[in-house]
Structure 1
Amino acid sequence: MEKRKIEIMDTTLRDGEQTSGVSFAGQEKVSIARLLLEELKVDRIEVASARVSEGEFKSIRKVAQWAKNRGYLDKIEVLGFIDGTASVDWIINTGCRVMNLLCKGSLRHCREQLRKTPEEHLEDIKQVISYAQRKGVDVNLYLEDWSNGMRHSEEYVYLIMDNLKDLPIRRFMLPDTLGILTPDETADFCTRMIRRYPDVHFDFHAHNDYDLAVANVFEAVKAGVKGVHVTVNGLGERAGNAPLSSVIAVIEDHLKMKTNVREKSIYHVSKIVESYSGIRIPANKPVIGDNVFTQVAGVHADGDKKNNLYFNDLLPERFGRSREYALGKTSGKANIMKNLEALGIDLDEETTKKVTARIIELGDKKEIVTPDELPYIISDILKNGTENQVIQLLNYSLTLTNGLRPTATVKIAIKGEVYEQTAAGDGQYHAFSKAMYKIYRSLNKPIPELLDYMVVIPPGGKTNAYVQTIITWRFEGKTFKTRGLDVDQTAAAIKATMKMLNMIENKTIPTFNYMQLP
């Protein structure tokens, strides 16, 4: 038996743009329209409301011209109003040819907002539809506030439908305008509409005020509606609309139906719209959030190694993504091994244990250690080894004040004796070094020479990435390097410095002078 296909109408450029603070530029609208129709393959897009502004008019003309050149003009829709000829003319002048006519789907809206009787409202609707037909504009019809209409004035809804169902209206669109419906109500109300008007094409338009938009779409499709409305990333007024990503997954996996949407493009398009809109995608947003395909607990990674015990049907590859295994304080050996496999790194058992222990230690400093940082941690372990901590850093304080030189106060213990000094420098690490040198001079201890200071940051541009500081020293004719790893560059340099001082104190400087200096 062939799967039933559900029509997807995306309204990111109209309803989604009603998100507080979101306004797409003309070229951004063209770009998003292209992504939705050519890359995602949605069936239709709603791009604007008629008569909003001169800027909107120019933007929609650009979209319409692009759509006409690409053969998509019948997929471009504009919200229109019961305003005589004004909306229809505005739509025609943009170059568009489909109007989504906004009518009143509840008696209260009809009486109190329009201050008209149902009969008067019906007459106004018919006049607009007649004019649109004469001008060659196709009409879909929104029953605004339909959910309240079904709750409180069901006979009014049927009166409107009975008088309009035989007119040239391609789709009747049922909005939960205020996001008030429960899944049970959605199923009930949609079923009543479909049973009473079996030959009508119904769309369902959900809002997410109670976080039930996707659940309500599920029930509407199950009841038999033929189309649903979505937005990329769930953009929309107040709590937003039903997110395209979740709706597609639910239709495919739970309803066992299909759409024309290309799943592999969902993440890519979502990230571009995130950039254009300035509205960040929550890290835990299903399908498209940064963390949703990341296993954190070590037991889950272990289960994935044993016949994918913690997989579900939402395989990341479907959506152009990949599964990751987080590295942090809850990591186990299985997480580490999964990441090492992905990086092509093979470690012995003892080193793997050390890496695991270090990641757990570092995980207390930040939530996640990224796979990009793993090679730096391994390098830190392999090249630094462990030293007898004859010299211990007990405490330090760094200050950076605009207009004043940075200062550092350092307290260390050398073989149990405590020393403290304060110094100013040209930078925080320079101030730390000068304070340390003060202590060493007071003890007549020899002072090494710093030859080179290099900072390496993993790719990805994250501001909380671990920093590896590599410092080259010369002491008693020997040149050697020490490394420090931390989320703070100065802290990493301090770790490298303490490593160097303990190597000198323990006389464990490499005997091989691998850097020939003039």
Structure 2
Amino acid sequence: MDTTLRDGEQTSGVSFSASEKLTMAQLLLEEVKVDRIEVASARVSEGELNAVKKITTWAKERGFLDKIEVLTFVDGDASLDWMEQSGAKVMNLLTKGSLNHLTHQLKKTPEQHFSEIEILVNKAVAKGFSVNVYLEDWSNGMRHSKDYVYQYLDKLITLPIKRILLPDTLGILTPMESYSFVKDIVNRYPDKHIDFHAHNDYDLSVANVMGSLRAGTHGLHVTVNGLGERAGNAPLASTVAVIRDFFPDIQIKVDDKSLYKISGLVEGFSGMRIPANQPIVGDSVFTQTAGIHADGDKKKNLYVSDLEPGRFGRKTLYALGKSSGKANIEKNLQMLGISLPDEDLKKVTKRIIELGDKKEAVTREDLPFIIADVLDRDPEEKKVELINYVLTHSRKLRPSATLQIKIENEIYEENAQGDGQYDAFMNALKKIFKQKKMDFPELSDYAVRIPPGGNTNALCETIITWKVGKKEMKTRGLDSDQTVSAIEATVKMLNLI
């Protein structure tokens, strides 16, 4: 059962509109193919009621009405009246699963609580509702008041309820406790359908899910991206992967390839960004960074596990940066349909490592730019070398540049102002050439390109066309800073002339 629309919406700062809830409900049931969805809490707001009405109207037309569940309360007729207005037919009744909660929050005896529950359940069934029952704070109940839990369950199984829902409300359980507590209840009540509802406060939700599965739980509660109160709930994608790979005897209907899609949709609707390293759905989890890994994949798929990205509709990517080896870069070039001689590949690898050391973000889309930059670089023995430079840009003051440059083993230093930082750099350079009584080429065209999908720290390619006498020549520079890439292109030109 996916409870993103109910428990997931209890994430701090998350609120879904009625249309967003309907869209997610449709996708979860029709494409992801979860068995049930919990869509709301009764009596929260008018907007919540309208959202549930939209969902139940759609679900009734599709024959999914029995898959739509709503959290309700022991509140006389109030929740029942709300259910009738909403059109929902399955209620998940919230009751007390620990003596501590019962005594201090409700201030009632077990007998009083059980009596109210019995009246409400019988009334709900008479109205045509299907009833499941949550034992709130059940995990603490099993730790500190087990006799109360069993006293309650002994009563509960005499009532016309469909499922018993066991929440680790505060996310306190260990995998061993999850196994032991669920096992006790499954063995004691073999004819009842038992659901386990994990929270993630100790980052143990998926491990606890595994414990409950080994114990024989019949149902699991999850949320997309692990949304939920405090640290969230057991995430849908990880839970599905665990069942597929570690519990082959358990059959589930979920479509693995839809998990990435629903994850992205919920990320957009909730405003809660998915960490890049979130298992299964994170942006970087199928990206190999170390060159040795790419090399191993190339030779015998040495770094491939059962978590193969294709099953989730994704692809293995090979990161480009200071840890990249030739194999990483070759893999990315193959994806672009590019092949390079070994000598050129070494040069490109060296340049990518240089950029990685500067913490530049390098993407596959940058590769054609880097190749062009590297393969038209000037010879190692340079006649013109830029030793140092300082660029300034101040409010209400003209940009300025100070540079130090070596031309044929002679060092020159000059400064100048200009209409921009690059213009100031060029003016300082022209002063030096004037001292040497050398002609300076005319800049006739200046083009800047950023690779597709580039962001604020993307690599930037500057291509400058120079007029040298009656001829034209082009040089290019590459850096994440546009001015620096233009300066690189300029120094290349100086060496070529």
Question: 1:275: Cα distance to partner?
Answer: 1.3
Q: Summarize the alignment of residues 456-495 of structure 1 with structure 2, pairs less than 5 Å apart.
A: 456-495=449-488
Q: Which residue of 1 aligns with 2:288?
A: 295
Among 302, 313, 327, the alignment partner of 2:306 is 313
Q: Which residue of 2 aligns with 1:361?
A: 354
Among 254, 260, 263, the alignment partner of 2:253 is 260
Q: Which residue of 1 aligns with 2:121?
A: 129
User: Which amino acid is 1:354 matched to?
Assistant: K
User: Which amino acid is 1:446 matched to?
Assistant: D
**1:283-340 CA distance string (max 9 Å, x none):** 1111111111111111111111122111100000000100011121111121122112
Q: Which runs of 5+ in 1 are unaligned?
A: 1-8, 505-518
Q: Report which stretch shifted further, 250-259 or 54-63.
A: 54-63
Q: Report which stretch shifted further, 13-22 or 404-413.
A: 404-413
Q: Does 1:98 align with 2:90?
A: yes
Q: What secondary structure is seen at the aligned counterpart in 1 of 2:21? A: helix
Partners of 2:483 and 2:12 in 1: how far apart?
Answer: 40
Q: Summarize the alignment of residues 383-398 of structure 1 with structure 2, pairs less than 5 Å apart.
A: 383-386=376-379, 388-398=381-391
Q: Which residue of 2 aligns with 1:344?
A: 337
Q: Verify the 8 A CA contact 2:360 2:459 in the aligned structure 1.
A: no
Partners of 2:398 and 2:34 in 1: how far apart?
Answer: 59
Partners of 1:25 and 1:403 in 2: how far apart?
Answer: 48
Question: 1:402: Cα distance to partner?
Answer: 4.5
Q: CA 1:103–1:436 in structure 2 vs 1: closer, same or farther (change >3 Å)?
A: same
**1:393-418 CA distance string (max 9 Å, x none):** 22223333455443333332323433
Question: 1:276: Cα distance to partner?
Answer: 1.3
Q: CA 1:435–1:71 in structure 2 vs 1: closer, same or farther (change >3 Å)?
A: farther
Partners of 2:31 and 2:282 in 1: how far apart?
Answer: 20
**1:2-48 CA distance string (max 9 Å, x none):** xxxxxxx1111111111111111221111111111111111111111
Q: Report which stretch shifted further, 416-425 or 345-354.
A: 416-425
Q: Does 1:158 align with 2:150?
A: yes
Partners of 2:53 and 2:413 in 1: how far apart?
Answer: 72
Q: Verify the 8 A CA contact 1:12 1:235 in the aligned structure 2.
A: yes
Q: What secondary structure is seen at the aligned counterpart in 2 of 1:303? A: helix
Q: Verify the 8 A CA contact 1:387 1:499 in the aligned structure 2.
A: no
Partners of 2:237 and 2:182 in 1: how far apart?
Answer: 23
Q: Does 1:441 align with 2:427?
A: no
Q: Which residue of 2 aligns with 1:184?
A: 176
Q: CA 1:127–1:445 in structure 2 vs 1: closer, same or farther (change >3 Å)?
A: farther
Partners of 1:41 and 1:477 in 2: how far apart?
Answer: 69
Q: What secondary structure is seen at the aligned counterpart in 1 of 2:376? A: helix
**TM-score, normalization by structure 2:** 0.96
Question: 1:387: Cα distance to partner?
Answer: 5.4
User: Which amino acid is 2:295 matched to?
Assistant: D
Q: What secondary structure is seen at the aligned counterpart in 1 of 2:300? A: coil
User: Which amino acid is 1:267 matched to?
Assistant: Y
Q: Report which stretch shifted further, 40-49 or 400-409.
A: 400-409
Question: 1:431: Cα distance to partner?
Answer: 2.8
Q: Which residue of 2 aligns with 1:496?
A: 489
**1:109-166 CA distance string (max 9 Å, x none):** 0010001011111111122212211222211111000000000000111111111113
User: Which amino acid is 2:375 matched to?
Assistant: L
Q: What secondary structure is seen at the aligned counterpart in 2 of 1:480? A: strand
Give me the CA root mean square deviation: 1.6
**1:419-441 CA distance string (max 9 Å, x none):** 33333333332232233233333
Among 194, 205, 223, the alignment partner of 1:231 is 223
Q: Verify the 8 A CA contact 1:326 1:368 in the aligned structure 2.
A: no
Q: CA 1:29–1:475 in structure 2 vs 1: closer, same or farther (change >3 Å)?
A: same
Question: 1:203: Cα distance to partner?
Answer: 0.6
User: Which amino acid is 1:490 matched to?
Assistant: T
Q: Which residue of 1 aligns with 2:37?
A: 45
> How many aligned positions are there?
496
Partners of 2:110 and 2:307 in 1: how far apart?
Answer: 47
Q: Verify the 8 A CA contact 1:388 1:502 in the aligned structure 2.
A: no
Question: 1:367: Cα distance to partner?
Answer: 6.1
Q: Report which stretch shifted further, 478-487 or 439-448.
A: 439-448
Q: Does 1:326 align with 2:319?
A: yes
Q: Which residue of 1 aligns with 2:374?
A: 381
Q: What secondary structure is seen at the aligned counterpart in 2 of 1:397? A: strand
Q: Which runs of 5+ in 2 are unaligned?
A: none
Q: Does 1:221 align with 2:210?
A: no
Question: 1:108: Cα distance to partner?
Answer: 0.3
Q: Which residue of 2 aligns with 1:12?
A: 4
Partners of 2:358 and 2:485 in 1: how far apart?
Answer: 13
Q: What secondary structure is seen at the aligned counterpart in 1 of 2:487? A: helix
Q: What secondary structure is seen at the aligned counterpart in 2 of 1:10? A: coil
Question: 1:385: Cα distance to partner?
Answer: 4.6
Partners of 1:331 and 1:15 in 2: how far apart?
Answer: 42
Q: Verify the 8 A CA contact 1:387 1:503 in the aligned structure 2.
A: no
Q: Which residue of 2 aligns with 1:513?
A: none
Q: Does 1:25 align with 2:31?
A: no
